[in-house]
Structure 1
Amino acid sequence: MNILFITHRMPKVPGKGDQVRAFQQIKSLLKKGHTVHFLFQEKDEAYWCCASSLIDGDQEEKHKLKAKNKHFSIIRSFFLKGYPLSVSLHSFPVLKAFLTSITSQMHYDVIHIQSKVLHNFSSINIAGSTIVVDYIDAISLNLERRYKWTKNPLEKLAVRGELGRMKKYEEFIKRQDLKAIITSPADKKFLYSRRAREVDVVPNYIDLSYFHLNHLESRKKALVFTGTMNYAPNVDAATRLVKDIYLPLKEKFPDLECWIVGTSPSSDVQKLGKISGVIVTGFVEDIRPWQWKAAVYVCPLRFGAGQQNKILEAAALGCSIVMSTITNSGIGFTHNEEALICEYNKEFVAHTEQLLRNKELAESLAGKARQFVASHFSEKVVADQLIAAYTEMDRH
């Protein structure tokens, strides 16, 4: 197959979630012998590139087109069309003309478009090409959950406004009547409860050659949580972990530590580092040693959506896990099989204490979780799901 990706930003690893997802998908398709190009916006220019050069690392530029009045397009999208800011920032009408030019030169069996750039194409119908919208995750689900838990009145007002805009944008996507993919069954059910056949679940994969066991590292009496630490769900979860879970456990285990590992910690997260035994790392070159050494990965997310890659990475690295039901909704672990799943602070404290005291149980859960990741989220499994989604769409 010839496949064209149209992405929010340049696909790359490491990067934002949308960048990593596109990079993984492109890499796996190239490995299977497909021809892939990608089109993306960066500042005021659009680039059309050969994906093999991206994977090889030379980033050879195939073609570029400069845009005019980019800021006017953003203003029009946000104020006149009422789309959310996260979508409006990717307003780049030149993409439509660029796509017309590209498809006049080359035929693509599949055109794979990330959802936040879809509004640049008021309608998209290219003869002989299957159009696929990649939601990545249900952003409005994240906003609904955040609205529920936010206590600050000004933040609540801002989240409510963005939520209304995102719902409007998701309705725009549905009206295009295109086939779609999304990362998790929970997000699919939320967006398409009555039209489920229109959406295929294609998760992100976990590179098991990178996220592997390390028996040379011994585990310390420490809790760990990872992620981008200025992202609202992670800020809330890190604060909850330290104040409501770690501190009660610290009274029972005086030598217990808590590691908050991830880039760009907010001021609230940085303050947690002043508490005895808490380490807030900021950016680290390699997150793996923290999970190889920690006794328990604790993820008390109260809002968020999509697939929680951080959990799957921890599982692949052999760390036992205590997590919220919302965290698990994009994964599918079974309580007391692959992880301990709970909702309330007292349950988090009790389950985490159980794993700190029972090494055999912790190792059993960790082993089963790693097997689950290998069975459901390996590169081969996910690549096959993506190709199956493309070919199933062709039959429709």
Structure 2
Amino acid sequence: MANVLYLVHRLPFPPNKGDKVRSYHLLKHLVQRHRVFLGTFIDDPEDEAHVGELSQLCPDLHIERVDARWGKVQALRGLLTGEALSLAFYRRPSLHAWVREVAARHGIDVSVVFSGAMAQFATPLLPKVPMLVDFVDVDSTKWTQYAPEHTWPMSVLYRREGRRLLAYEREVAAQARQSFFVTPKEAALFQGLAPESAARVQSISNGVDAEVFAPQPGLDSPFAPDEWPVVFTGAMDYWPNIDGVCWFAQAVLPRLRGQWPQVRFYIVGRNPAAQVKALAGDDVVVTGTVPDVRPYLAHARAVVAPLRVARGIQNKILEAMAMSQPVVTVPECAQAIGATAEDGLFSAADADGLLEATSRMLQAPALREQLGHAARAFVQARYSWQAHLSALDGWIDEVRA
């Protein structure tokens, strides 16, 4: 058993959005073999209700609270220091102090960092405490991708953040014993951007809990009997999700309803941004937070994930497939998962393709059921959390040797 310092940028419970799904399962995996000291942040007041449940899983817990508005103001200090704004956003002297105290009292064997910005709390322990970093995605490239979608001054800030964050990611990777990314494609992208650390970079895939996300006949439908629900799930304050649903609602949905007026687009997820709320109407339902996304997936006529700005493996797609639902998405998301139409994952690069694939699901219930079985079989065979995260065990054993 090792003493593991685990640093996460967002409370890893409940596992109700993409990054929290991965960070939660990583925590769950670590506590099976090790004593884990968890330092993390709460950036959503709703998460306060779940601290007790998390402390049962990991009693050695330190939480910092973040007010999103004040955090953004604090992040602007990075403009004065010349660093990435993400680092200034998360910087907390009290978390630094807790890390020092834990290391001094308990003899930490290894630090596991989830999200590059959290490495600032682990690097002061180097070289005595080796560091493993789960970057998940190349976040610096995300910021660069956001820039063209925004106007000045945000476009300038996003480009700056991309440059400064990449410099920091390279610095962290150079100090880490090993760095991880969610797909081989993301790992290869970073290896090209940080060739000096290429030999110490690998991928660890996401997974899905196929026992939780499973077809369950007892789930009541949240939809009206006479409507054909097309469903998207995800955190709706996340820019790629916002962009994706707005694009689908504007470029695809009117044409779907032209063929089938009973179609309604359900946007299911917490914290919908203003752009998302503005879509609500007769043809679009914006649910906000729901207690359980599974009834929406189970009774959907079609599930879509039209993410034009997306990186890595999308948990929302794996969860829908595990629920025996085929999914219509874009090529980059399908390629990351490695599934094809025969596996229940359709991809289309433009609105015409999305329209065709979604229409196919809407008008062919028997085909949708057949492909749904194929989708569940695919994720059961390839996306076990235990199988993927076991790669981390070897590195923890190695740094302790």
* TM-score grouping bracket, smaller chain normalisation: 0.7 to 0.9
Q: 1:42–1:286: structure 2 CA closer, same or farther, 3 Å change rule?
A: closer
Alignment of 1:1-396 (within 5 A): 1-2=1-2, 3-14=4-15, 17-31=18-32, 33-40=33-40, 54=54, 56=56, 60=59, 78-93=78-93, 95-96=95-96, 98-114=98-114, 115-121=116-122, 123-127=124-128, 129-148=129-148, 150=149, 152-193=151-192, 194=195, 195-216=197-218, 221-274=228-281, 276-391=282-397
The Cα shift of 1:230 comes to 2.0
Amino acid at match of 1:7: V
Cα distance in structure 2, aligned partners of 1:299 and 1:215 = 24
Q: Is the 8 A contact 2:42 2:64 kept in 1?
A: no
Amino acid at match of 2:9: H
The unaligned stretches of length 5 or more in structure 1 are 44-50
Q: What is residue 46 of structure 1 aligned with on the other side?
A: none
Q: Is the 8 A contact 2:122 2:131 kept in 1?
A: no
Amino acid at match of 1:192: Q
Q: Is the 8 A contact 1:143 1:304 kept in 2?
A: no
Q: Is the 8 A contact 2:84 2:164 kept in 1?
A: yes
Q: Is the 8 A contact 2:38 2:62 kept in 1?
A: no
The unaligned stretches of length 5 or more in structure 2 are 44-50
RMSD: 3.3
Q: 1:318–1:6: structure 2 CA closer, same or farther, 3 Å change rule?
A: same
The Cα shift of 1:158 comes to 3.2
Q: 1:394–1:245: structure 2 CA closer, same or farther, 3 Å change rule?
A: farther
Q: Is the 8 A contact 1:7 1:40 kept in 2?
A: yes
The Cα shift of 1:341 comes to 0.9
Cα distance in structure 2, aligned partners of 1:65 and 1:312 = 31
**93-102 vs 231-240, greater mean Cα deviation:** 93-102
Amino acid at match of 2:24: F
Q: 1:84–1:232: structure 2 CA closer, same or farther, 3 Å change rule?
A: same
Q: 1:62–1:374: structure 2 CA closer, same or farther, 3 Å change rule?
A: closer
Q: Is the 8 A contact 2:310 2:332 kept in 1?
A: yes
Amino acid at match of 2:189: F
Cα distance in structure 1, aligned partners of 2:27 and 2:346 = 34
- Identity of aligned pairs, percent? 26
Cα distance in structure 1, aligned partners of 2:156 and 2:63 = 40
Q: 1:64–1:257: structure 2 CA closer, same or farther, 3 Å change rule?
A: closer
Cα distance in structure 1, aligned partners of 2:351 and 2:272 = 23
Amino acid at match of 2:118: V
Q: 1:192–1:305: structure 2 CA closer, same or farther, 3 Å change rule?
A: same
Q: 1:101–1:155: structure 2 CA closer, same or farther, 3 Å change rule?
A: closer
Cα distance in structure 2, aligned partners of 1:382 and 1:122 = 26
Cα distance in structure 2, aligned partners of 1:287 and 1:108 = 38
Q: Is the 8 A contact 2:304 2:329 kept in 1?
A: yes
The Cα shift of 1:151 comes to 5.5
Q: Is the 8 A contact 2:132 2:176 kept in 1?
A: no
The Cα shift of 1:98 comes to 4.0
Amino acid at match of 1:213: P
Q: What is residue 48 of structure 1 aligned with on the other side?
A: none
Cα distance in structure 2, aligned partners of 1:41 and 1:222 = 35
Q: Aligned residues, how many?
A: 379
Q: Is the 8 A contact 1:136 1:183 kept in 2?
A: yes
Structure number with the higher helix fraction is: 2
Q: Is the 8 A contact 2:40 2:62 kept in 1?
A: no
The Cα shift of 1:108 comes to 3.6
The Cα shift of 1:264 comes to 1.4
Cα distance in structure 2, aligned partners of 1:171 and 1:81 = 18
TM-score, normalising length from structure 2?
Answer: 0.82
The Cα shift of 1:63 comes to 7.7
TM-score, normalising length from structure 1?
Answer: 0.83
